[in-house]
Amino acid sequence: MDKQKKNPWLLYALVTMVTWGIWGAFSDQTTLPKTLVYVMWALSMIPCALVALVNTRFKLDGRSKPALLSMGVGLLGAGGQLVLFLALDYAPAYLVMPMISVAPIVTVLLSATFLKEKVSKLGIIGIALAFVALVCFALPDSKDGAVSSWIWIIYASMVFIFWGVQAFVMKLANNSTPDAESVFVYMAISAVLLIPVALLMGKDDPSLASFGWGEPTKVFFVQILNAIGAFTLVYANRYGKAMVIAPLADACAPVIMCVISLILYATLPTIPQVIGIVAAISCVLIFSRE
């Protein structure tokens, strides 16, 4: 019980890891266009936002600073997702994802510089292990696909910056408001506001009109796992250090994905993935003592 009181951030971060891991394992099992996937993701934020409002008895922090910071968190996350779609139009995932997967390094640098966050020597080892896991899981399994333009580097760099800054701003938002729920509600609002942008991006896709309710509903429930993870991530950032939580959450979710793939699809992990699993588990054990 004492450990739970000492490390509530770790409990929330673990929920994020598990939900994001399950989400990642099933998120690519769809033929839905990327723009509609975004719409379902944005809409899946609404149920969690309602839970957040219930927790605060529908008392949303309306002050300008926390509202703007929280909206900034949502716009950085949702905007990064939309830009990622553009990057994947020009280059395959095996090139794009490794570049953006180490976005937590931006969070670590910003948090150390501006928030003056510090960790013990053991914690530094934990952060290093998290990045080892990130790199191991980002290594490509194959080289299928083609690069149609160098512009993907610009788009991927934008996602890298957006998502790295997002976790830092999330910590700032939590520091500016007495409740984490308001942060998430504003994040959900900003995600929904970008739905027209997503639909505009896919307006020339003829397949948008060929889907009924079945596939979008399935994607919606898969995306709820992502929303739950984002919800608990806000709590984790409220109680913990952004420079620890960002690499930890991003590094450990692939472990869950790998385990699910092993169980459902009888696929053996690659050597880099095994190294990543060991590094991620070691990282969690280290931070449980931090």
Query: Where does residue 39 rank: exposed (0-12), middle (13-18), buried (19+ CB within 10 A)?
Result: buried
What would the mean pLDDT of 119-132 be, rounded to a whole number? 90
Is 250 within a domain? yes
* Average pLDDT of the chain, as a whole number: 87
Confidence of residue 206 (pLDDT cuts 50, 70, 90): low
pLDDT at 188 over 50: yes
Q: Which residues contact 279 (CB under 8 A, 6 or more apart)?
A: 129, 130, 132, 133, 136, 251
User: CA-CA distance, 79 to 159, in Å (whole number)?
Assistant: 8
Look at residues 29, 27, 18 and name the one whose alpha carbon lies nearest to residue 84: 27
pLDDT of res. 191 = 96
Report how many helices (DSSP H) and strands (DSSP E) the chain contains, helices first: 13, 0
**What pLDDT sits at residue 241?**
92
pLDDT bin (cut points 50, 70, 90) of residue 141 is: low
> Is residue 231 domain-resident?
yes
- The tens digit of pLDDT for each residue in 12-49 reads 999 999 999 899 888 877 778 888 889 999 999 999 99
Q: Examine residue 3 and state whether it is found in any structural domain, yes or no.
A: no
User: Does residue 252 surpass a pLDDT of 90?
Assistant: no
**pLDDT at 142 > cutoff 60:** no
Q: Are 156 and 89 in contact (CB under 8 A)?
A: no
Cα distances (Å, whole numbers) of residue 125 to 40, 165, 274, 288: 38, 22, 19, 13
If we measure between CA atoms, which residue out of 235, 185, 167 comes closest to residue 66?
185
- Identify whether 5 is part of a domain: no
CA dist 165 and 187 (Å) reads 14
Other beta carbons within 10 angstroms of residue 6's beta carbon come to: 12
257 vs 239: which has the higher pLDDT: 239
Contact 35, 86 (CB under 8 A): no
Q: Identify the weakest region by mean pLDDT among 35-49, 69-83, 206-220.
A: 206-220
Asked if residue 187 is part of any domain, the answer here is: yes
- Do residues 170 and 233 make contact, with C-beta atoms less than 8 angstroms apart? yes
CA Rg value for the chain: 19
* Cα atoms in the 13 Å half-sphere on the side-chain side of 281: 10
159 in a structural domain: yes
- Distance, C-alpha 261 to centroid of its chain: 20
Is the confidence at residue 177, as pLDDT, over 70? yes
Q: Is position 1 within any domain?
A: no
Percent of the chain with pLDDT over 90: 54
The CA-atom distances, in angstroms, between 6 and each of 9, 10, 141 are 9, 9, 40
Write out the two tokens for 34: 């990327």
Q: Is the whole-model pTM more than 0.95?
A: no
Domain membership of residue 152 (yes or no) is yes
Assigned token pair, 52: 């957040």
In this predicted structure, what is the pLDDT of residue 210?
A: 65
Q: For residue 143, what pLDDT is reported?
A: 52
Whether residue 149 is predicted with pLDDT greater than 70 in this model: the reply is no
Number of Cβ within a 10 Å radius of residue 197: 13
What is the domain range of residue 52?
Answer: 15-287
The number of distinct structural domains making up the chain is 1
Grade residue 1 by pLDDT with cuts at 50, 70 and 90. Answer: very low
Taking residues 73-86, what's their average pLDDT?
Answer: 93
